[in-house]
Structure 1
Amino acid sequence: MSIVIRPLSAADEAEWRRLWTLYLAFYETTVPEEVYASAFARNLSAEHPDMNALVAERPDGQGLMGLVHYIFHRHNWRVEDVVYLQDLFVDPDVRGGGVGRSLIQAVYAAADAAGTPAVYWMTQEFNYKGRMLYDQVATKSPFIQYRR
């Protein structure tokens, strides 16, 4: 399968919403409409250069197969910024075909081009299929996340 990775565009909104809704459902959560609108706008806005989104286009041009959101941010332990890969989702009907790997590699390439080699992300323990890929393309951290 030919995988085309490109930046999110305004014309992608319906497909992006479809994929992000599936992603949120996978993690058994939802967000209000204002969050959808805000996230989409931020990922397209030059006013938010720290927020980025890439999509994987279907080979026939009929929609999207996957998405990734990533955020550049400062870090106290480094001079250069780091990249937080916040959301990664591949349509279930094309999983195992290299789309997720291609999206991660595209984030790595964007980080390298910006002089920001450190990329990190989190996933839930039960995401076994995703973790099989992550174990191939990254090193698992021993850190545990806490939240307020």
Structure 2
Amino acid sequence: MTISIRPIAQSDKERWLVLWQGYLDFYKTAVPAEQTERTWTRIMDPEFNMKCAVAELDGTVVGFTTYNLQNSTWSPNGHCYLEDLFVDPEVRGSGAGRALIDYVKAFALEMKCSRLYWNTDADNEVARGLYDTYVLESGKRQYRVQLS
């Protein structure tokens, strides 16, 4: 059982779509097909500020993460935001989630970011078990104003 992490490739689209739907299902949400296609286009565009990496287990894509750089008034080099992280439920506990986070962490260090951060739901206890091995939650509350 070997886990490897690499940037997403065009040939990953079919599997990414399956994992993306699993991610949306997990959070009991939906996005229009146009938004899914827009997201795919963005992660494939090297000029757009959104990156995606996939986890492979024995040659099969089993997870993904999206992340981007953010400017900051608090630091000279900004922050790295890990926006999405999903691992196929069939292989959770394999180390794929940790490997994806570590991949993004290495990217953030390479870019000299002062912070890597992400959000999760308070009741996402399985993921929080992993996240708490990196750092305890910040105690911040997130407020959302829906604009469209």
Tell me the TM-score normalized by structure 2: 0.94
Tell me the TM-score normalized by structure 1: 0.94
Per-residue deviation, residues 41-64 of structure 1 (Å, max 9, x unmatched)? 11111221x2100001130x2x31
Which position in structure 1 is the counterpart of 2:89? 92
% identity of equivalent residues = 40
Count of aligned positions: 145
- Structure 1 residue runs of 4 or more that deviate by more than 3 Å after TM superposition: none
- In structure 2, the residue corresponding to 1:136 is in which secondary structure? coil
Deviation at 1:117, TM superposition (A): 3.8
Which position in structure 1 is the counterpart of 2:50? 51
For 1:1-148, list aligned pairs within 5 A.
Answer: 1-48=1-48, 50-59=49-58, 61=59, 63-148=60-145
Per-residue deviation, residues 5-45 of structure 1 (Å, max 9, x unmatched)? 00011010011111011011111101111111111111111
* 2: CA distance, partners of 1:20 / 1:71: 18
* 1: CA distance, partners of 2:108 / 2:67: 10
* 2: CA distance, partners of 1:137 / 1:81: 20
Amino acid at match of 2:84: D
- In structure 1, the residue corresponding to 2:66 is in which secondary structure? strand
Deviation at 1:139, TM superposition (A): 3.1
Per-residue deviation, residues 58-91 of structure 1 (Å, max 9, x unmatched)? 30x2x31100000111011111121110000000
- In structure 2, the residue corresponding to 1:137 is in which secondary structure? coil
* 2: CA distance, partners of 1:75 / 1:24: 29
* 2: CA distance, partners of 1:89 / 1:100: 7
